Amino acid sequence: MKYSLMKKICLMGIGLAGGFVLLNIILTYFLLSPFSISFSKHQMKELAMSFDRIDLQSEDAVLDFIEDLDEDTNTQVTIFNRQMHVIYSAKLSDYDRRKGIGKQSRDYISEHIEQLDAGKTLAFSIDSEGDEKRVRVKVVRKLSEDRYVILARSYRSLQNATRSAMLFEILVGIGLTALSALMVYRFGLSIVAPIRNMTETARRISNLEFDLKVDVEGDDELGVLGDSINRMSEQLKDNFDALQADVENRKKLVRNLSHEIKSPIAVIMGYADRLKTISRKDPEKAVSYCEIISRESVRVDGIVQEMLELSRLENHRDTMQVVLIHPEEFFGQLRQRLEAHCVDLKPVYVEEFDPEECFYGDFRLLQRAVFNLLKNAVSYGDQEHLRIEVSGNRKLAHYEIAVYNTGKHIPVEEKENLWNPFVKADQARSRRGSGSGIGLTIVREIVEKHKGYCDIRNSSGGVRFVIGIPLSLSEEETEGREKHDTQ
């Protein structure tokens, strides 16, 4: 049902208002008369006690006091003696005075005369007989040795008065119910309108449209909910944009990977076909063809292995083993690996580090990252006068490892792109060895796993690749650290 919440709020408000009005009418019908009688008895008892303040021997004082009570409180006051003869009264005629008080009152007083003489104030009701229901409430009290006072109030047509009260309450109740409906409608709008806005925003978000925002007003629950939806929309938009960018990068990566593998596969297929025809005629050339096929196969295998390594790093399947790393061992192993890698080329290799400045990290992953930088230096450095410098030192809150190689500077606009797969700063350069084209991308992933940073800096006569590893890792990463065995 469309906008059913608004209808529910309005119906609930009208139901509550109408229910209260109906309850008030029922209570008035059943309880107004008993309550009025009980209240009158209590009030007249207090009036009866007020006779202690006047001089009963003064007829003028008594009559004035009786008349005041009659006018102010609509109470008939009669003072009589033990023989039930009226002594003072404001409304009784001389005949009524001689006749005395009524029979029903005389009978009640006669039955309770001992209680009156004991000082007790009595209250009672007298219901008249006949078609018209009338109730008289009376209170009697002893004033002196031979003086009694009886106070009476007549509730003529009490039912008519009750009906009048109920009719008034019905009319007022209708007005109050209508006013309540209007107020509930306005109040419901203040609640439902933001909810409609949130619903439309959520619908847009479900359709991957993040342009609509919730108008947040106030800091109540609806305001907090609206703010949460806005923040969720912003985060989803950021994640969606990042996902789209990642999808585009993946597509580009697949295209580049296909192009990168296509060349060695074409070489392998071409030399394999030639090998069939010359294997017997020219064995030496056949051997050279086999060497070319083997080299290109190693290159393809290297690309595949690098891609698998990158996939593991990106999907966080490679769990880090954080240990205390000693620079002497760390850079010593790198030197040995570089010597094994550079069989034909013998670059000038320089190390600079403080053996006492240890740092924490994953030994295997960091070795992989720095060795990739070294291979990159060999592939793209100045081949005629190649100089490679490796350094490690503390810098503020990080341990920086830098790899420098002689060669051309890298344009500023191309520095950031170099960390992406299969990107070359100089397409005219030729690589030495079997580079895969994603070595720097793996470096970036490893450094990001350490929550560090990467940088490329043009230096005098060459380029310096820098990675920074935090000196203070989180408790989860540092918990259970072990000192790396250097033996």
**In angstroms, rounded to a whole number, what is the distance separating the alpha carbons of residues 370 and 349?**
14
pLDDT at site 487: 34
Whole-angstrom distance, CA of residue 322 vs CA of residue 397 = 17
The yes/no answer on whether domain 319-483 falls in CATH 3.30.565.10 is yes
Determine the longest span between alpha carbons in the chain, in angstroms. 165
* 128 DSSP assignment: P
Counting beta carbons within 10 angstroms of the beta carbon of residue 305, is it exposed (0 to 12), middle (13 to 18) or buried (19 or more)?
exposed
pLDDT of residue 93: 59
Q: What is the pLDDT of residue 330?
A: 93
- In 10 A of CB 422, how many CB atoms? 16
Tokens standing for residue 158? 């009490």
Task: Look at residue 481 in the predicted model and tell me its pLDDT.
Answer: 44
348-353 vs 387-395, strand pairing mode: parallel
Q: How far is residue 200's CA from residue 219's CA, in Å, rounded to a whole number?
A: 21
On whether the CB atoms of residues 144 and 154 are closer than 8 A, the answer is no
Distance of CA 196 to the CA centre of its chain: 19
DSSP label of 50: G
Q: Are strands 359-362 and 122-127 parallel, antiparallel or unpaired?
A: unpaired
Comparing C-alpha atoms, which of 153, 121, 142, 126 is closest to residue 46? 121
Cβ within 8 Å of residue 132, ≥6 positions away: 156, 157
pLDDT at 434: 46
Alpha-carbon separation of residue 39 from 67, 123, 137, 166, 418 (angstroms): 22, 11, 10, 19, 96
What residues have CB less than 8 Å from 149, skipping those under 6 apart? 48, 51, 77, 78, 79, 140, 141, 143
| Contact yes or no for 374/404 (Cβ under 8 A) | no
> Do 434 and 367 form a contact (C-beta atoms < 8 A)?
no
- Contacts of residue 83, defined as CB under 8 A and 6 or more positions apart, other chains included, come to 100
pLDDT for 482 equals 42
Q: Model's pTM, two decimal places?
A: 0.48
Q: What share of the chain is helix, strand, coil (3-state, %, to 5)?
A: 55, 20, 25
Contact 82, 148 (CB under 8 A): yes
Supply 293's token pair: 């096929």
H helix or E strand, kind and range, residue 351: strand 348-353
Please list the alpha-helical segments (H only) found in 207-345: 221-278, 283-314, 327-341
Interatomic CA distance for residues 112 and 110, integer angstroms: 5
User: Please, is 232 exposed, middle or buried when counting C-beta atoms within 10 Å of its C-beta (0-12, 13-18, 19+)?
Assistant: middle
Domain 221-295 belongs in CATH node 1.10.287: yes
For the chain, what are the domain ranges? 4-162, 221-295, 319-483
Task: Find the helix packing angle between 158-206 and 4-49, rounded to 10°.
Answer: 150
Mean pLDDT in consecutive groups of 10 residues from the start of the chain, 487 residues: 65 79 79 79 88 83 86 86 84 60 85 89 74 72 88 69 75 82 77 77 81 74 79 83 77 66 78 76 79 80 72 67 91 90 83 92 90 89 88 92 92 83 52 59 88 91 93 54 39
CATH of domain 4-162: 3.30.450.20
